[in-house]
Amino acid sequence: MNIPEYNGNLRAHSVKLPEAIHQAKGIRIFGRLIRSLVFSTDIAVIRNCNADAVIAVYPFTPQPVISNALIMASDIPVFTGIGGGTTRGPRVINLAVDAERQGAMGVVVNAPTKNEVISRVRQRLEIPIVVTVLSENEDIEARLNSGATILNVSAAARTPEVVRKIREKFPDAAIMATGGPTNESILETIEAGANAITFTPPSTAELFKEMMARYRESL
């Protein structure tokens, strides 16, 4: 049976995630099924895409004002970064508590985060803790035992391989992973065992470049 669809005119131009993502089984959080996450802190992109959720991490010290702005403006759930690399210890815990109070669906910690910190965050939060994983050589069992709810595998071209090896050892773990830019790379990651896929959208500059090119052709 075909799924009825409505796009309108003004909002028909939006960021559409690759169709292959819909084949992921997903992760059910508080009753909501999450198959796709857009990796962005751009509110305009977040408000104009068809992802199930947002993973909002950025290469600066996390600030509550940023996470609050994203959560308030987004029309889909937000998983917000709380540090764990440069930002450590009590500050990570405080950021996690702030994020939950602001309405985040989950918090994301960087790969260098110590298990002790994850455990202390787990004691304070009800929402999921997403722990970034860069290699299958990390102590995944210790991460899960410390309170990691979801593993976020980000290993560039090796992501499917890393996901596969983790899935073999931990068949029940919740795994989200970067899927790459194509349907083929996304399917490979799903088949390796990822429950959900994170997708990096084009930047607003790239989208504007395409739009302006079309405008010029129409003159």
Phi, psi (rounded to 5 degrees) for 73: -85, -25
Q: Write down the mean pLDDT value for the chain.
A: 93
- Confidence band (pLDDT; 50, 70, 90) for 12? low
Report helix, strand or coil for 55.
strand
Report helix, strand or coil for 149.
coil
Q: Is the pTM of this model over 0.85?
A: yes
Structure confidence by residue, pLDDT tens digits, 195-210:
999 999 988 888 888 8
* Residue spans per domain, the chain: 19-218
Structure confidence by residue, pLDDT tens digits, 113-159:
999 999 999 999 999 999 999 999 999 999 999 999 999 999 999 99
Structure confidence by residue, pLDDT tens digits, 170-181:
999 999 999 998
pLDDT over 70 (residue 164)? yes
Alpha helices (H) along the chain = 43-46, 64-73, 90-102, 115-124, 140-146, 159-169, 183-192, 204-218
pLDDT at residue number 207? 82
Name the CATH superfamily for 19-218: Phosphoenolpyruvate-binding domains (3.20.20.60)
Evaluate whether 38 touches 51 at the Cβ level (below 8 Å). yes
